[in-house]
């Protein structure tokens, strides 16, 4: 408490406002004492504000207004936000959103911090971050009242301004605020609250499926609307590309809310019973709960431990909606005039891409570029150049001319390496078993790689030969690593994108700098990733982890194919390319691919546990998910999980886990015993 | 579909010997020379009838490359039958049989039935391993043996069914405790464990072909 002085709010206008209310001099402890003695059971509304809205999407029509309240019950302060009932609500989507976003009662003991945003234009809004690290979407105060909101909270709970960021107010922060950062999420603590409940929150697959469909629908409509109304978007701070750290946490936490409602249902929790009754009369509640009850009636004999981070229902609000790929935005004639003076004949894709480059072709802000790609991928025609950058073949600060020069140099370098094997005569080959075997293996594999895909189909397809030549050349360039099955799957899309032998080769070389250990003969790269994956599941879904443990599935071999070739066999060709470029941005994490694994497993966690899948069944089930995974939904989940896990997640991934570079950079690959197969 | 028993099979052998093609020929009755190479494992299943009992074969088709051996080993667990495949036109695939067998012996249960298959017997003009050598190897190691062709379908059906018949016979003889699923056998609905007269209802005879 001695820190209170240091971080006093007396310099703050909000604090000043609270003074005017006459009760601000009351210390927090006093507040507790007084309220507990005066109103042991009753609940008192201490703050109520109308027209506080959330903006689930960028579209005005989809905003949801409601009433925000602070309610005091005994010594505890709770927050509720109930959306208004729409009269002419024909849009089912909005209706569902309303239910989804409704906040019944969150105790402030669960709140970590509140961030106040006061943009010079537009509405003030706050972002409320829970101690789990999750957060509610921004609340926009259409009629003002942020100051009063904070002042009221301060009257009832301990609230201090963060020493790190003046717009952040820490709730119940009794430690030295200087020692605390927002990245140190305390997930496990909150997780234990949920998993400790005797009656797990259960949601049936059908509900999840419905949600997934809804996400799909949402997505396509959002994209089409985006295309249709481009540039009409009002300035929306929460959607701003330069999003602040805290806003990354702006993930509605159904989990936290349900945890709360669990607490409320359990009457033994101190005095919550009366409080719940009060909310029972509120509209638009419990729909989710009701739905799950209905579904449960069908069949659900085996109790499945609830998901501590029940994001399945939340994907819509977790992470951000994907954008159309970079380069796909429509550009109007007036945009062109504005930007370049004349429209010329350049197409829009190139122009938008060009906005990331300076006059000489340098990427001005690689972070912004990577972020843009992370949220939407790249239009195909731009991939040639962008992949080269993402993979590190081109430096971000290289100019057009430098890249052109590099291509020339590298082309001749490639030819030199290629010539090494091309010059091997049949006589020499006869005495060169390793070469014969390696070539034989590659020859056999390139004719079994993506032959159903137009680029490689048909007899005597020259692209199949290019695939062979680049792989064989790589096995000479990196003779220690050689060739291993799976490499052709990784090379195939690169060759398709680059449409140039030498360029493909060098991009593949760069990719192998990251993923080479996947193909170590001792499988060390694979094992380290599988291990990291098991640690992440343990962190993000301990019930599922325990299930795997009990069923002897902790080796995670069922995820082997996912990791070996970066989900290449799980998605359509185009989707694979999109996934790869997202992974290659290393935007949120180098190891996003591991979070993608966790996201898929979590999406099916209930089915896995309910059906009591053993290793064999699980392996078969995972294999058969191929072609059935919704990429956008999974990427959103993965993003959310990655954010949730924060530094805890990163700490669970051992250094040197691919695609990170090996710790001992002196020895990239363990010496490969050549294979005779 | 209901079955009396479910047998788990695993197909092993060097890369490119035709494991996936054998599986496809057996399950879909077609030969598809252009297919993606196997990463990890693929699955196939088919119902057969032995001794008038419906038996479901669940077949695991594994990746053959040496690098993946450590992963492949985890698939042996609970397999009732294994098809160990080599390519009669590539001597080295025959030479590696001992190492595959060692893996199988080490990681599968001791009663697993192993069928040795010399595949691609339609390519007799390129033969590099004689039928006798195959027979000899099988005899030495206590395996059932057949030459087959995934391309022409010759002996494919027979190889899978003969293996199943052998497993079935072991059940009848009480070799397996079928209630223990680690033997790779599941008793399905209507499957009554125990001797039923000991008739061996295999639908075909084994034997070398393509001589």
Q: Given A460, A493, A512, which residue is the final one in a domain?
A: A512
| CA atoms within a 13 Å half-sphere pointing along the CA-CB vector of A249 | 25
State the ipTM, two decimals: 0.88
pLDDT reported for residue A286: 38
Chain A environment of B70 (Cβ under 8 Å): 522-523
Q: Is residue A417 part of a domain?
A: yes
Taking only the tens place, the pLDDT of each residue in A318-340 is 456 677 787 766 554 455 445 44
Looking at the structure, tell me whether residues A599 and A673 fall in a common domain. Answer: yes
CATH code where residue A71 lies: 2.30.29.230
Q: Is residue A44 part of a domain?
A: yes
Q: Is residue B211 part of a domain?
A: no
Domain range for A460 is 400-512
Phi first, then psi: what are they for A200, rounded to 5°?
Answer: -65, 150
**CA dist list (Å): A388 to A139, A371, A407, A468, A662:** 41, 16, 11, 21, 22
Q: What is the largest distance, in Å, between two alpha-carbon atoms of chain A?
A: 100
Residue A56: CB atoms within 10 Å: 22
Q: Is the pLDDT of residue A468 over 90?
A: yes
**CA dist list (Å): A386 to A254, A381, B126:** 37, 10, 48
Q: Do B34 and A677 touch (CB under 8 A)?
A: no
Looking at the structure, tell me whether residues A102 and A236 fall in a common domain. Answer: yes
Name the percent of chain A lying above pLDDT 90.
Answer: 44
Mapped onto helix, strand or coil, the DSSP state of residue A574 is helix
Q: Is residue B140 part of a domain?
A: yes
Q: How many domains does chain A have?
A: 3
Looking at the structure, tell me whether residues A481 and A531 fall in a common domain. Answer: no
Chain A environment of B65 (Cβ under 8 Å): 441, 484-485, 675, 677
Q: Does B49 touch chain A (CB under 8 A)?
A: no
Q: Is residue A251 part of a domain?
A: yes
**Hey, which of A282-291, A374-383, B41-50 has the most confident mean pLDDT?**
B41-50
Q: Is residue A252 part of a domain?
A: yes
Q: Is residue A124 part of a domain?
A: yes
Mapped onto helix, strand or coil, the DSSP state of residue A671 is coil
Instruction: Indicate which of B67, B80, B96, B186 best probes the interface with A, i.e. most A CBs within 10 Å of its own CB.
Output: B67
Minimal Cα distance from B34: which residue of A? A448
pLDDT reported for residue A160: 83
Q: Is residue A216 part of a domain?
A: yes
Q: Please report the residues numbered 128 through 167 in chain B whose beta carbons come closer than 8 angstroms to any beta carbon of chain A.
A: none
DSSP code per residue over A246-308? HHHT----HHHHHHHHHHHHSTTSTTHHHHHHHHHTSSS-SHHHHHHHHHHHHS--S--PPPT
Q: Do A486 and B15 touch (CB under 8 A)?
A: no
Mean pLDDT of A652-672: 67
- In whole angstroms, give the CA distance from residue A506 to residue A393: 7
Looking at the structure, tell me whether residues A410 and A534 fall in a common domain. Answer: no
Looking at the structure, tell me whether residues A524 and A508 fall in a common domain. Answer: no
Q: Does B39 touch chain A (CB under 8 A)?
A: yes
Looking at the structure, tell me whether residues A171 and A216 fall in a common domain. Answer: yes
Chain A environment of B107 (Cβ under 8 Å): none
- In whole angstroms, give the CA distance from residue B62 to residue B42: 7
Q: Is residue A362 part of a domain?
A: no
CATH code where residue B48 lies: 3.40.50.300
Q: Is the pLDDT of residue B102 over 50?
A: yes
Looking at the structure, tell me whether residues A485 and A584 fall in a common domain. Answer: no
pTM of the model: 0.65
Q: Give the mean pLDDT of chain A.
A: 74
Q: Which two tokens stand for residue A297?
A: 């009636």
Minimal Cα distance from B14: which residue of A? A677
Name the percent of chain B lying above pLDDT 70.
Answer: 89
CATH code where residue A468 lies: 1.10.8.270
Q: Does B98 touch chain A (CB under 8 A)?
A: no
Q: Is residue A269 part of a domain?
A: no
Closest CB to A451: pick one of B34, B39, B66: B34
pLDDT reported for residue A59: 67
State the first-to-last Cα distance of chain A, in angstroms, to the nearest integer.
71
Helix (H) or strand (E) holding B147, with range, is strand B144-147
Q: Give the mean pLDDT of chain B.
A: 88
Closest CB to B67: pick one of A488, A521, A623: A521
Q: How many domains does chain B have?
A: 1
Q: What is the largest distance, in Å, between two alpha-carbon atoms of chain B?
A: 48
Looking at the structure, tell me whether residues A482 and A547 fall in a common domain. Answer: no
- In whole angstroms, give the CA distance from residue A330 to residue A352: 9
- Shortest CA gap A551–chain B (Å): 13
**CA dist list (Å): A187 to A255, A309, A334:** 12, 9, 49
Measuring CA to CA, which residue among A334, A328, A337 is closest to residue A380?
A328
Helix (H) or strand (E) holding B118, with range, is strand B113-119
Q: Which two tokens stand for residue A195?
A: 């998993």
Chain B environment of A450 (Cβ under 8 Å): 36
Minimal Cα distance from B87: which residue of A? A677
Domain range for B126 is 3-185
Q: Is the pLDDT of residue A262 over 60?
A: no
């Amino acid at each position: 408490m001695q820190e209170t002085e240091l971080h006093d709010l007396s310099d703050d206008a909000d604090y000043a406002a609270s003074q005017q209310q006459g009760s601000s001099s009351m210390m927090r402890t006093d507040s507790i004492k007084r309220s507990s003695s005066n109103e042991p059971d009753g609940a008192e509304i201490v703050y109520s504000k109308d027209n506080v809205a959330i903006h689930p999407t960028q579209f005005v029509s989809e905003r949801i207004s409601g009433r925000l309240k602070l309610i005091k019950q005994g010594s505890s302060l709770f927050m509720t936000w109930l959306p208004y009932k729409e009269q002419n609500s024909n849009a089912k989507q909005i209706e569902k959103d309303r239910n989804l976003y409704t906040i019944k009662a969150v105790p402030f003991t669960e709140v970590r911090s509140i961030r106040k945003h006061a943009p010079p234009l537009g509405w003030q809004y706050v972002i409320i971050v829970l101690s789990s690290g999750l957060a509610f979407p921004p609340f926009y105060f259409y009629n003002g009242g942020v100051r009063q909101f904070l002042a009221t909270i301060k009257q009832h709970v301990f609230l201090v301004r963060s020493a790190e960021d003046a717009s952040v107010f820490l709730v119940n922060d009794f430690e030295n605020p200087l020692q605390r950062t927002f990245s140190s999420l305390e997930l496990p603590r909150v997780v234990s609250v949920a998993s400790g409940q005797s009656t797990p929150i259960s949601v049936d697959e059908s509900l999840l499926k419905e949600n997934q469909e809804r996400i799909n629908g949402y997505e396509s409509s959002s994209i089409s609307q985006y295309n249709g109304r481009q540039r009409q978007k009002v300035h929306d701070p929460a959607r701003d590309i330069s999003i602040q750290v805290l806003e990354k946490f702006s993930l509605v936490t159904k989990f936290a809310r349900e945890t709360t409602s669990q607490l409320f249902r359990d009457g033994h929790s101190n005095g919550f019973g009366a409080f719940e009754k009060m909310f029972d009369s509120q509209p638009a509640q419990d729909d989710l709960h009701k739905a799950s009850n209905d579904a449960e009636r069908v069949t659900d004999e085996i109790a499945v431990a609830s998901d501590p981070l029940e994001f399945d229902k939340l994907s819509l609000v977790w992470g951000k909606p994907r954008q159309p790929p970079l380069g796909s935005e429509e550009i109007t004639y007036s945009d062109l005039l504005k930007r370049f003076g004349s429209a010329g004949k350049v197409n829009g894709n190139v122009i938008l891409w060009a906005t990331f480059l300076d006059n000489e072709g340098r990427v001005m802000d690689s972070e912004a570029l990577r972020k843009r790609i992370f949220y939407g991928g790249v239009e195909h025609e731009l991939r040639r150049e962008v992949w080269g950058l993402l993979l590190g073949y081109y430096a971000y600060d290289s100019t057009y001319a430098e890249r052109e020069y590099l291509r020339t140099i590298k082309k001749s370098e490639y030819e030199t390496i290629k010539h090494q094997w091309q010059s091997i005569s049949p006589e020499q080959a006869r005495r060169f078993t390793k070469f014969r075997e390696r070539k034989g293996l590659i020859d056999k594999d390139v004719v079994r790689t993506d032959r159903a895909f137009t680029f490689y189909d048909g007899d005597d397809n020259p692209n199949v030969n290019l695939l062979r030549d680049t792989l064989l050349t790589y096995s000479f360039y990196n003779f220690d690593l050689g060739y291993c099955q799976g490499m052709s799957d990784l090379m195939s899309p690169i060759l398709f994108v680059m449409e140039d032998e030498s360029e493909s080769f060098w991009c593949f070389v760069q990719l192998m700098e990251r993923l080479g250990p996947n193909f170590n003969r001792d499988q060390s790269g694979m094992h380290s990733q599988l291990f990291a994956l098991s640690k992440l599941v343990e962190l993000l879904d301990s019930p599922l982890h325990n299930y795997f443990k009990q069923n002897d599935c902790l080796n995670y071999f069922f995820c082997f194919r996912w990791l070996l070739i970066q989900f290449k066999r799980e998605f359509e060709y185009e989707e694979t390319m999109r996934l790869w470029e997202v992974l290659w941005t290393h935007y949120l994490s180098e190891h996003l691919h591991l979070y993608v694994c966790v996201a898929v497993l979590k999406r099916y966690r209930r089915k896995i546990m309910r059906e009591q899948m053993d290793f064999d069944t699980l392996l078969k089930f995972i294999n058969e998910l191929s072609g059935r995974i919704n990429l956008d939904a999974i990427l959103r989940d993965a993003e959310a999980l990655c954010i949730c896990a924060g530094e805890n997640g990163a700490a669970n991934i051992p250094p040197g886990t691919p695609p990170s570079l090996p710790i001992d950079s002196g020895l990239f690959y363990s010496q490969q015993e050549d294979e005779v197969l | 579909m209901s079955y009396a028993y479910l047998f788990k099979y695993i197909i092993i052998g060097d890369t490119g010997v035709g494991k996936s093609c054998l599986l496809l020929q057996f399950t879909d009755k077609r030969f598809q020379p252009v297919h993606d190479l196997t990463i990890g494992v693929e699955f196939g299943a088919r119902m057969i009838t032995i001794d008038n009992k419906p038996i479901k074969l669940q077949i695991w088709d594994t990746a053959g490359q040496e690098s993946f051996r450590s992963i492949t080993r985890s698939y042996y667990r609970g397999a009732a039958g294994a098809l160990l495949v080599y390519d009669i036109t590539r001597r080295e695939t025959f030479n590696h049989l001992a190492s595959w067998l060692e893996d199988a012996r080490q990681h599968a249960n001791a009663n697993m039935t192993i069928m040795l298959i010399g595949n691609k017997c339609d390519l007799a003009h390129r033969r590099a391993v004689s039928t006798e050598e195959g027979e000899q190897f099988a005899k030495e190691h206590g395996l059932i043996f057949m030459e087959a062709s995934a391309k022409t379908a010759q002996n494919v059906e027979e190889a899978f069914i003969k293996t199943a018949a052998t497993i079935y016979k072991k059940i009848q003889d009480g070799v397996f405790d079928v209630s223990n699923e680690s033997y790779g056998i599941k008793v399905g609905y209507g499957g009554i464990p125990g001797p039923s007269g000991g008739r061996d209802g295999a639908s075909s005879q084994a034997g070398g072909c393509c001589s």
